[in-house]
A and B are shown apart, each in its own frame.
Chain A
């Protein structure tokens, strides 16, 4: 019980540790000021950790606040404007104001820029303090800053300990307050926090201001301890002190700064007695910790005790109510006859690339409305314009009758437009409950509240429980989101999306990366939610979309080509041709039958056996068997999102296998580095080409050239256009030229197998023919795997074909057989609804 209370109130632990250290030092008769210093630096570190650990910003020069505040405290006393206590107060206020100004200037920059800019400010302050001798005393600093209130060292020490414990108590309250909880959400996922309606910039600015105030307090306490002030705390050697201590102690632990300060100051004190070069010993200690215990001293201790977890907040969630109230949708009262969302001539272009052309769309309440379309159709762009992540270049978006085209993302979220993300976007280091709670809070109280425990707001808790219950996650509420299985993360993603009093749910590929069992669960949930909300769904699992949707709109090359009931859309010839890629490229010579037989009898070159792979816990491929013979051309077909690219990535070694094996030329290559796999003869022509934009065509080719491959003259002969453009930078090439360079780049290395990922994507028909001809010439000389979602485009030029459906091989056989079986093609690749389950009635 005692232990639990202590764990609940780490500031008491802090007090106990400081008192114990004081007792030891007094008993030894050593100067107490060392412990005063530890207390001050613990506070300094805690201020910095409010940014590093809680907000996810790394200031390398928080010393600017520490140093400047220490001068302010001295000025007040020396200028006789007040006593030492007034000096401390003035320093805190000054430092906070400085934090506000500096933050406003530099918080628009992120990452390393932010770190370096804070360091630069510290350096400016150092130069001023060092040179402006008349005011700052320059190199000698200022002395005789006498303490008038707390004269003896013992009294001052007691004062500092009390102030520091009180400050830690406030910080602990802050960490649990609505504002502190939001900080941690921003740290985990800035974009998500913003999409929930939080103004991330303002929140960070406030955090920096608070950090400046805390650090300023520490700086002022230091002045009064030394009864003087010196510039060296601002210098670059000391700028990082607080950060080093905090990392050493553990940034993800509330008391990390304390342990860091103790280790740093005691070691400095003891080592300086032995050698003036104490960094010789201390630096390696730091490096070892940085590399082998990134969670610091406390993290190491917890690892040894096998209780690894962050201790930035209490490890609890509010009690689960005996009866969880049924989830009530904010959209339940919408007028079913008026469209809740409407777009008029919505357009977007990036330079000359048009990704949305005058899209008119109406979404009605209580309707499950899906948007489908082949790769590159512009679905995600369209979503981004609806949610506010992208500004349209033309047209308007209306929500509940009001024009929201110019509103930022967080303002739209407040109106009830809520979006789930294609790539999982939850707050990984928060509990499942907290993920939802912080989202609910966004709607109710925002980031207001610095003192009350956020978990005591009953109404918000109840709402969070209702939402968790509605998606079926109430039992896992106390788990960290990062530890959830992939399917449950999806449910959480939807739960967070629901939390903002959503009326319209924009769901971006909610089934991506899910196994079949999870798909059934998530699909049922979407269906259920559509009864009380308007739902706009993007999804590649066409069979399911056709089965569950009330209405479907089809985008193709940025245009809406069909809009209506699932059955009508599936029968629409324009839609069928968009998916199956009806021959728009003209006549092509089919490979001779004779050649095909020869290849089938050749030795196997690549053998993939029961391969499973995915990304960060999601399973994309399961049990895939795949074979390519020497000199053979194989098509790897399948609709979007079925795992074609993932299979290529697994073969070339840029994605680790979860199970299964890859054998190339008789040798296992599953665990080799990508460059070694390439040297064995496997080349990739990746999706999006991935040329080096800053290199010329010639340099792009020379980079890949190895003896035994085609010469550059040979590839120029194959692609005469490239010879003319050889001096041009790759960033200035057209899409077709880029694709030619990407293919040529695979040829100049001695490849036995070339993997081409969507080689015709985004190319004009004439260019497709040109690329196609080049591939025809390559046939037989080298084995090829061509990934496509348009079967008709590639079947005539390949020997065999595989079709993937939801991460598994659904068809394997001769290309001619698949080519002639139109019904099979449309079942595996097209939009024809084959599922016997009729569209769910409602």
Chain B
């Protein structure tokens, strides 16, 4: 029983870190652009499909380009579509990104077909890892390490680079950032691209864990919303804690109450919001209230 619990917690952490990657992207896009990006799950799926295609064509190292390409697609989408929403009614943003999500899903269906495609992990990472009671596939360990490392790298990027400084400042007062001589439109394109890059990275990593199929976008967007809501808007720490909570809760539910596995995160969210209406680490942001 306890062994199973520990194994599931580790699995939950893997899932949780993937969710954190997705949610972090959603969160910085929302924080700077004020847009709830319903299409964020679509970028997750795009990342998975690109990784699959690249690894089949050029071998698995080529899959590493997938997140970058996803980010570039994000930049293009920002320039063509999303940018036109700034300063408009939030309702239009919801509609546009939702339509975009369904468009992307239909596009994937058109190109790759609706069936689930197998995506096997590189040979080097196949097999199991055993430590005491913990039994886990090697690939999951790789995912755990890569996601954790990416999150640390992302945190360092936000905290220590000039661009990260602009992102942090812009999340509080975008107009003032412009008044300091910083070309805000370019920054916003960049932020949308980075958010999509993180989603694409999660998609690349998740491909071999789950199967690659057009509907996987829905499997990413709802947990991401839930995590951002639980963690508190715009809080990086909140996203990490909430993501791991959701991952572990879901994994444990899968093992012990399989029927409730998908509903468990919503119940968690309801409980957190009743206790802390702004989420765990939520601060009051006047821009969004």
Contacts and interface: CB of A to CB of B under 8 A. Distances in A.
Interface of A: 52, 58, 60, 105, 108-113, 115-117, 119-120, 123-124, 127-128, 130-132, 235-237, 240, 243-244, 247, 251, 276-280, 282-284, 286-287, 290-291, 294, 652, 654, 673-675, 678-679, 684, 686, 690, 692-695, 699-700, 702-704, 706, 745, 749
A120 B168 contact: no
B108 to A, nearest CB: 9
B282 to A, nearest CB: 10
Given A58-B91, A120-B225, A277 B165 contact: no
B124 interface: no
Contact of A749 (B181, B260, B263): B181
Given A279-B103, A287-B100, A702 B169 contact: no
Nearest to A124: B266
A132 B259 contact: yes
B267 interface: yes
Interface in B10-36: 36
Given A131-B263, A692-B168, A675 B184 contact: yes
Contacts of B184: 675
Interface stretch (B65-73, B128-136, B147-155, B172-180): B172-180
Interface stretch (B47-55, B81-89, B199-207): B81-89
B181 A706 contact: yes
Nearest to B187: A675
A291 B277 CA distance: 33
A159 B89 CA distance: 38
Given A674-B175, A694-B172, 10 more contacts: A52-B91, A127-B263, A235-B218, A236-B222, A277-B107, A282-B102, A283-B103, A284-B103, A290-B95, A692-B173
A654 B289 contact: no
B100 A283 contact: yes
A684 B175 CA distance: 12
A664 B13 CA distance: 58
Instruction: Report which residue of B218, B222, B266 has the largest number of chain A beta carbons within 10 angstroms of its beta carbon.
Output: B266
23 contacts: A111-B288, A117-B229, A120-B225, A123-B266, A124-B266, A124-B267, A127-B260, A235-B218, A237-B102, A240-B95, A240-B98, A277-B109, A290-B95, A290-B99, A673-B178, A674-B175, A675-B181, A690-B176, A692-B169, A694-B168, A703-B162, A704-B181, A749-B181
B263 A244 contact: no
A113 B103 CA distance: 25
Given A120-B226, A236-B218, A291-B84, A686 B266 contact: no
B78 interface: no
Contacts of A58: 90-91, 94
Interface in B170-198: 171-173, 175-184
Nearest to B177: A703
A692 B84 CA distance: 26
Nearest to B185: A673
Interface of B: 36, 81, 84-85, 88-92, 94-96, 98-100, 102-103, 105-107, 109-110, 114, 162, 165-166, 168-169, 171-173, 175-184, 218, 221-222, 225-226, 229, 259-260, 262-263, 266-267, 269-270, 273-274, 277, 288-289
Centre residue among A120, A237, A291, A684 by max chain B CB count within 10 A: A120
A232 to B, nearest CB: 12
B180 A237 contact: no
Contacts of B221: 236
A134 to B, nearest CB: 10
Contacts of A290: 92, 95-96, 99
Contacts of B36: 112, 115-116
B179 A654 contact: yes
B94 A283 contact: no
Contacts of B110: 277, 280
- Give 3 closest A-B pairs by Cβ, nearest first: A283-B103, A678-B181, A127-B263
B266 A120 contact: yes
Contacts of B262: 127, 130-131
Contact of B277 (A109, A111, A294): A109
Contacts of A110: 289
A745 B180 contact: yes
B88 A294 contact: yes
Nearest to B234: A694
A286 B95 contact: yes
Contacts of A684: 179
Contacts of B103: 279-280, 283-284, 287
A675 B179 contact: yes
Given A131-B259, A244-B95, A690-B176, A703 B165 contact: yes
Contacts of B274: 105
B180 A704 contact: yes
Contacts of A115: 36, 90, 94
A286 B100 CA distance: 9
Contact of A286 (B99, B178, B263): B99
Contacts of A123: 222, 263, 266
Contacts of A112: 36, 90, 288
Nearest to A60: B94
Most chain A beta-carbon neighbours within 10 Å: one of B95, B182, B226, B288:
B95
A653 to B, nearest CB: 8
A678 B179 contact: yes
A671 to B, nearest CB: 15
Residue from the set B177, B179, B266 with the largest chain A CB neighbour count within 10 Å: B179
B172 A693 contact: yes
Contact of A695 (B92, B99, B165, B269): B165
A131 to B, nearest CB: 4
Contact of A116 (B178, B180, B225): B225
A674 B178 contact: yes
Contacts of A291: 81, 84-85, 92, 96
Nearest to B162: A702
A211 to B, nearest CB: 16
A177 B260 CA distance: 45
A243 B95 contact: yes
A294 B89 contact: yes
B239 to A, nearest CB: 15
A4 B267 CA distance: 52
Contact of B179 (A52, A124, A131, A686): A686
A247 B288 CA distance: 22
Nearest to B88: A294
Contacts of A279: 99, 102-103, 105-106
A116 B169 contact: no
A591 to B, nearest CB: 28
A291 B232 CA distance: 30
Q: Which of B90, B218, B222 has the most CB of A within 10 A?
A: B222
Contacts of A690: 173, 176
Contacts of A282: 99, 102
Nearest to A704: B180
A108 B263 contact: no
Given A237-B218, A704-B180, A247 B91 contact: yes
Given A236-B218, A243-B95, A277-B110, A111 B180 contact: no
A364 to B, nearest CB: 38
A745 B99 CA distance: 42
A283 B104 CA distance: 9
Contacts of A700: 169
Contact of A111 (B90, B105, B222, B266): B90
Contact of A278 (B100, B106, B168, B171): B106
A286 B92 CA distance: 10
Nearest to A240: B98
A127 B225 contact: no
B92 A686 contact: no
A652 B179 contact: yes
Given A131-B260, A236-B222, A690-B173, A703 B166 contact: yes
A52 B91 CA distance: 9
A708 B154 CA distance: 31
A247 B179 contact: no
B175 A654 contact: yes
